[in-house]
Amino acid sequence: MKYFYNILRILTGALFIFSGAVKLNDPSGFSIKLDEYFDVFAEDVSTVQDSIRFTVQDGDNNLKTSTYTLYTFDDVKNITATYSGDSVQGFSVKWQYGNEMHLEVESNLDSNPIIQTAEITVLTEEGDKELIKLSFEVDSTKSKKWTVPVKKYVKKQSSMNRFFKACKDYSLYFSVAFCALEVILGFALILGWQINWVLGITAMLIGFFTFLTFYSAYFNKVTDCGCFGDFLKLKPWDSFKKDVVLSIIILILILFKRKSICIIKENLADSLMILFSSLTLFFGIYCYQYLPVWDFLPYKVGNDIQYIMENIPKGERASDSIEIKFVMQKGSDSIKVDIKGYSKAVKDGYNFVRQDRKLIAEGYKSPIHDFAIYDQESDSDLKDEMLNNEGYQLMYIAPFLNTMDTGNLSDMVKLFQFSKHKKWTFYALSSSSLEPAKQFQENHRLPFKFYAADQKMLMTMARYNPTLYMFKGSTVIEKWSGNNLPNAEELDAIQK
């Protein structure tokens, strides 16, 4: 039993080291996953708000009713309500927060509207009590404006909502701390060092992650727990099962901890733990500053991104397999038929009600499916131009201009000038809209402009903000953190 116990303890420690190391290798990636969890929790504990209902009427007949939730994060909310009858009718309704709280209604009607009146109602969150009710006659030539105390019906968010939102500011620190702790606990288990404390902390950590994976799986909130980073993707229920097994193992280790043996002397174990813990933290910080040591991302060196985008692995489906059913109705009778029975149902006098779609088998989804380069000034997509270019290309990735490290911008300018001299294509990509990107370019006097790209794509490419890529055609031949940009001689040497 003693040998079995200690072998089980060492194997568990090795699993912890492996799991923590692959995440610590890419702390930015795990921090993105933590952000997903924080967003989910913030949404789930958010305060339910009141709502506003807009009703268009023709006499006593309601032609259209739309209900919209009042959200605290909306500065301006635009509502449109249209009705097509003998002529097209329209209303534009806006509520605005600020020093002046008001509802503004603008009619956009033909000269002889069939709509006679409209109504605005602010409801409680349950929708069964009217807090404000305004009825007004339609005037096709004028706008209407009423001052309504909307703000008092917008409820403040709960302290827990604010807490989870605030946690996103520290997700990178949490990422390094959690992953480093996992590795350190694994090493301590292997040594058998301070077994009481180590097993207690490990049990709390496993308990927390078991809850997290169950929550993700049961409510289908986060589709990949990030347990093994980008090295291995686990579905939520698989992650939960893995944590249940680990929980059982930790329980066994706690129940029989008296059989644990420290494999080296206590003084030496203390020194080793201090050294190993320091190296673990250093490794995580290094991987953030200078990119992952082991790159498991689809944009890793050597990958041809065009091939990855277009190639479908053998045995994978090219598209989703979907079962389609049509709900048909005739009088009080309703039936559900497939596409083969649709024509017969129509001939039998049934009318189409709705279409139900059920996913049978999911098609292959390329790990690179959102790659794009968009010129906001000329309104043009440069993706194909980049992918079909067979020459050398530099790509400077800065997902968020307002938070990027600008310390090496002067070095980046030199690399841009070098690429221009070599007649290489140069792209600078950001998720910022046109005006902020232009303002950033002007403020830092940059000789290049920023093109737009999807935020998620850029965060996958740039684990450090910013990151530089070098391509030959559509193949990644090298990439660097913004903290470790190459010089012109290094680029020239790579080309040769």
Distance CA 399, CA 391 (A): 25
Residue written as tokens 């277009």?
310
* Element containing residue 337 per DSSP (H, E): strand 333-337
Provide the pLDDT for residue 87: 42
Provide the pLDDT for residue 46: 84
Distance of CA 469 to the CA centre of its chain: 23
CATH homologous superfamily of domain 374-495?
Answer: Glutaredoxin (3.40.30.10)
Distance CA 233, CA 236 (A): 10
Statement: residue 167 has pLDDT above 80: yes
Coil, strand or helix at 469: strand
Coil, strand or helix at 369: coil
What value, to the nearest 5°, has the Cα angle with vertex 266 and ends 261 and 202? 60
What backbone torsions phi and psi does residue 358 show, to the nearest 5 degrees? Answer: -125, 125
As to burial, measured by CB atoms within 10 angstroms (0-12 exposed, 13-18 middle, 19+ buried), residue 120 is: buried
What value, to the nearest 5°, has the Cα angle with vertex 413 and ends 377 and 422? 90
**Per the structure block, which two tokens stand in for 363?**
């098609």
> Residues 414, 447: contact at Cβ < 8 Å?
no
> Residues 285, 458: contact at Cβ < 8 Å?
no
Distance CA 166, CA 41 (A): 12
Provide the pLDDT for residue 172: 92
pTM of the model: 0.76
Pairing of strands 351-361, 321-330: antiparallel
Domain locations along the chain:
2-43+167-290, 51-153, 321-361, 374-495
Distance CA 313, CA 298 (A): 15
The conformational region for residue 430 under phi > 0 = left, psi -120 to 50 = alpha, else beta, is beta
Q: DSSP secondary-structure letter at 228?
A: B
Distance of CA 127 to the CA centre of its chain: 32
pLDDT classification of 236: cutoffs 50, 70, 90: confident
Per-residue model confidence as pLDDT tens digits over 289-310: 999 999 889 999 999 999 999 8
Provide the pLDDT for residue 93: 53
Cis peptide bond prior to 466, omega within 30° of 0 = yes
> Residues 27, 280: contact at Cβ < 8 Å?
no
Per-residue model confidence as pLDDT tens digits over 440-460: 999 999 999 999 999 989 999
pLDDT classification of 100: cutoffs 50, 70, 90: very low
Residue 397's alpha-carbon distances to 379, 428, 469, in angstroms, are: 20, 6, 8
Could you tell me which of 210, 222, 183, 200 has the C-alpha nearest to residue 14?
Answer: 183
**Per the structure block, which two tokens stand in for 56?**
């268009």
Residue written as tokens 């067979």?
390
Mean pLDDT value of segment 343-372? 86
Coil, strand or helix at 88: strand
Per-residue model confidence as pLDDT tens digits over 61-94: 666 677 777 666 655 555 555 555 444 445 555 5
Residue 285's alpha-carbon distances to 31, 171, 230, 399, 464, in angstroms, are: 13, 14, 18, 20, 11
pLDDT classification of 42: cutoffs 50, 70, 90: confident
Number of H helices, E strands in the chain: 14, 18
pLDDT classification of 15: cutoffs 50, 70, 90: very high
Mean pLDDT value of segment 16-27? 93
Provide the pLDDT for residue 187: 95
